[in-house]
Amino acid sequence: MLRLIPTIGIKSAKSTFDLYFVIGNKLLPNVYNLAFGPIGEDGEIDDQVVVRHKDINLVFSSVLFYAYFFLLANEDKGYSIGVDGSNDIRAYLYHRMFNYNSRELADMFYIVGVDWYVRLLRNGTDIERDREGYALFKPRPECFDLERNPADLYRYYMFSLTD
Amino acid sequence: MRPTIKSKVDAIKAIAQKADSSHFRSAKPPRTSGDSLSKAIRDEREAAIFQEELKLAFKQSKR
């Protein structure tokens, strides 16, 4: 079930559109996916759009501060926030955001990256598959690796407040 | 928390408290059917496994 909270439009003279945020609770308790993007004609947030803001730092800091205040407001609940690297452009944005600002962010967040893995079966030639025969990918979280090649993006990024 | 970061946070908090209510508006959920993590976790068992792994990953991040 999605839990909607008020959204904030980022006002910027250099932006081509305002961004709006929504944090939704899907399946995992205490884990909230943060989606952001412009509002389309149908009134829904388009979280797949390419972010064209010229001041990308403003976008970075807005995303992080929005998440930060949400976590602070629910500090006693131990929530964590996830951002979906749904396409390479978004994933690169998040990766760069966490990697380049790691020293500053270390004071505020613990950061985790999530990759998708598939299991090699005992026969050594096949992989685990779902009922339709497609590869059964499973998400595996790990401590965000600062040494990781920037081209080797995580699929999903998560963070929680520091103690 | 570093003083410089704290001062920025305090400044943002002050802005947030004074924010014009017209800046806030409700919106529908994203048009996508769900984030990729929610799609990849299909049932409660997988969710429980992921939660444990996530707990460990955050614990490692604290070191």
Range of the domain at A115: 20-161
* Interchain CB distance below 8 Å, B5 and A104: yes
Spatial contact of A84 and B30, defined as CB atoms under 8 Å apart: no
Distances in Å between the Cα of A37 and the Cα atoms of A97, A118, B19, B32 are 17, 31, 20, 12
- Mean pLDDT calculated for residue range A99-127: 92
Spatial contact of A85 and A125, defined as CB atoms under 8 Å apart: no
Could you tell me how far CA A35 lies from the centroid of its own chain?
Answer: 8
Spatial contact of A122 and A74, defined as CB atoms under 8 Å apart: no
Give the pLDDT band (50/70/90) at residue A158: very high
Residue A126 included in any domain: yes
A138 touches chain B (CB under 8 A): yes
- The pLDDT tens digits of the residues spanning B13-51 come to 665 555 444 444 555 555 544 788 888 888 889 999 999
Residue A75 included in any domain: yes
Task: Return all residues near A27 (Cβ < 8 A) that are at least 6 apart.
Answer: B38, B41, B47
Residue A157 included in any domain: yes
Residue A79 included in any domain: yes
Closest to A140 (Cα-Cα) out of A159, A113, A160? A113
Residue A1 included in any domain: no
Tally of domains in chain A: 1
Residue A3 included in any domain: no
Residue A7 included in any domain: no
Tokens describing residue A132: 């339709």
Query: Does the pLDDT of residue A5 top 50, yes or no?
Result: no
Q: Give the closest of B23, B27, B46 to A43, CB-based.
A: B27
Q: Give the closest of A110, A116, A140 to B58, CB-based.
A: A110
| Domain locations in chain B as residue ranges | 39-63
pLDDT at res. A44: 73
Residue A27 included in any domain: yes
